[in-house]
Each structure stands twice: as C-alpha cells, then as structure tokens.
Structure 1
Amino acid sequence: MHANRSEWFKSSYSAENGGCVEARFRANGVGCRDSKDPEGPALLFQPEQWQTFVDDVKAGRYPALGA
C-alpha cells in the first residue's frame, strides 16, 4: 500500500473519456470514488481488502478491468 498518497489521485490506467476511479490511502484504509462525482459517495476498504483486490486484478481474476 502506498501510505504516502493521502490525497485523491487517478490511476495511471484511467480511461481518457473521464471514466476514472480515484483513490487515496489513509491509515484506516483505502478510499475510492468516481472521479466524475468528487462530492458524491466514497467507499472505504480495509487495507487487507484492498490488497486482496489488487492481488486478484494482477492475477487476472477481473479481466474486464484490465481492458
């Protein structure tokens, strides 16, 4: 986990059409939100949940996300 990223940022894999997810890393977990709606709701994942998701993406368990 990139603990030094406490501000919202877009993934380097973000779509050019604006369809992006933003994240920020905090001590209590990882926040995710829709970049088109920064004032809207955000999800909070525990660090273990986030790491499991990242590991699953890298393992190809969500092929549509890598497209």
Structure 2
Amino acid sequence: MTASPEGWRKASYSSRETACVEIGRTHDGAAVRDTKDRAAGYFTTTEQQWATFINAVKNNHFD
C-alpha cells in the first residue's frame, strides 16, 4: 500500500476561489482532489504522467 499524499496545495492564483483542485505529493508522482469535496478522495498519477500533463498545460494544448 502506498502512503497518503502529503503537502496538499492549490494555486495561489485561486486563493479566493472555492471551485479549485489541490495537488499533493506522492512517493512517485502526484495526487489531485477537488477542494469542494475533499472527502470524495483523489486520483494519482506517476511522475511521468504528471510531467507530461504539466508540459501540455504550459504549451497551451488545452486552449
């Protein structure tokens, strides 16, 4: 069993928003959860999956 995600954070840009996601660190990647319903759980990604996603965001692949 893997350890629970640690260091949950949301973007400082969304500090006043309530409909956000939070990112937590895992041993080999990241975890993502909804700030409106933290009890619903989270999904995890590997380090490579997370890096690929972040790269796609930075390169406007979702615009």
- Kindly indicate whether the alpha-carbon contact (under 8 Å) linking 1:14 and 1:21 is maintained by their aligned counterparts in 2: no
Q: Which has the larger share of helix?
A: 2
What per-residue deviation string (whole Å, max 9, x for no partner) do you get for residues 2-49 of structure 1? xxxx32111223273411000111212200000011111201000100
Q: What residue ranges of structure 2 are gaps of 5+ in the alignment?
A: 1-5
- RMSD over equivalenced CA pairs, Å: 1.5
4+ residue runs of structure 1 moved beyond 4 angstroms?
none
Q: What residue ranges of structure 1 are gaps of 5+ in the alignment?
A: 1-5
- Kindly indicate whether the alpha-carbon contact (under 8 Å) linking 1:29 and 1:44 is maintained by their aligned counterparts in 2: yes
What letter is aligned with 1:13?
Y
Match of 2:54 in 1: 54
Give the count of matched residue pairs: 58
C-alpha separation between the residues in 2 aligned to 1:15 and 1:61? 25
